């Protein structure tokens, strides 16, 4: 039977047509390129960092790719002065989350990285489409957020330019840096650095838990746009509670939450 005849039979059957068509094409590819198909089935296990030093080094490497060595050194300077392991690990996670906020430059870099990884896995005439929600385009989804749209492979060239423009991040020349969300992200970084400078000087057995909670607080500021703004407002209230606890010498967290 010909390929077209089998595809037509799948359509006429009417059951999970798109999924079955994809399965058929994957099967044809596997039959024609068994070595490549076998390679995709091999386990590719990437060992994750285990020790605290490894986790910090991993995040430093990410910050270098994200912005450059200067940002990675800024991150390391914050951590080098912390002796307490629990607090150091909390700061390692929270500070990294703030420094590596996902802006337009980072989205472009990540999409290009994903494209390269996919290209290594698949041969032939490889093409990839991208699903993005540019805030400058009209239209909202059911949740009131910018609507996602599909963009073709033509977007790769503009994304390369955008990823290279990461050197402008946080400077007066950053065209995206004047939005409310970007200003909020930079403010949170400065606020976090001031908070850590204050509370680390008060670290002892009675304040440790509150300081760890404060250091990890940025992990709760997730999402984009209105979602991130709402999470930031919730985190701001919790920040004031935790700072009050620490400044009072470590009042029980349960009492502070009441």
Could you tell me the sign of the dihedral formed by the alpha carbons of 36, 41, 42, 48, in that order?
Answer: positive
Burial label for 214, CB within 10 Å (0-12, 13-18, 19+), is: buried
Pairing of strands 149-151, 130-132: antiparallel
Q: What is the pTM of this model?
A: 0.72
Query: What residues have CB less than 8 Å from 145, skipping those under 6 apart?
Result: 133, 224, 225, 226, 227
Domain definitions of the chain by residue range: 52-103+174-257, 104-168
pLDDT tens-place string over residues 209-234: 999 999 999 999 988 878 889 999 99
pLDDT tens-place string over residues 155-212: 888 889 989 989 999 889 998 888 888 999 999 999 999 999 999 999 999 999 999 9
């Amino acid at each position: 039977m010909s390929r077209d005849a089998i595809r037509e039979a799948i359509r006429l059957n009417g059951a999970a047509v798109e999924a079955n068509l994809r399965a058929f094409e994957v099967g044809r590819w596997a039959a024609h390129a068994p070595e490549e198909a076998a390679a995709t089935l091999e386990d590719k296990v990437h060992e994750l960092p285990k020790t605290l030093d490894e986790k910090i080094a991993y995040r430093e490497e990410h910050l270098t790719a994200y912005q450059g060595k200067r940002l990675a050194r800024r991150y390391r300077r914050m951590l080098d002065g912390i002796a307490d392991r629990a607090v150091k690990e909390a700061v390692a996670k929270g500070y990294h989350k703030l420094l590596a906020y996902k802006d337009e430059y980072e989205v472009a870099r990540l999409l290009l990285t994903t494209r390269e990884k996919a290209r290594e896995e698949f041969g032939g005439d490889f093409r990839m489409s991208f699903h993005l929600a540019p805030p400058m385009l009209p239209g909202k989804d059911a949740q009131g957020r910018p609507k996602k749209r599909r963009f073709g492979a033509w977007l790769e060239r503009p994304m390369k330019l955008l990823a290279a423009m990461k050197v402008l991040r946080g400077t007066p020349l950053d065209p995206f840096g004047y939005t409310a969300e970007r200003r909020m992200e930079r403010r949170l970084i400065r606020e976090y650095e001031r908070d850590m400078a204050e509370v680390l000087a008060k670290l002892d057995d009675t304040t440790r838990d509150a300081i760890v909670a404060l250091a990890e607080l940025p992990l709760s500021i997730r999402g984009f746009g209105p979602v991130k703004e709402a999470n930031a407002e919730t985190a701001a209230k919790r920040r004031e509670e935790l700072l009050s606890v620490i400044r009072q010498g470590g009042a029980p967290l349960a009492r502070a939450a009441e």
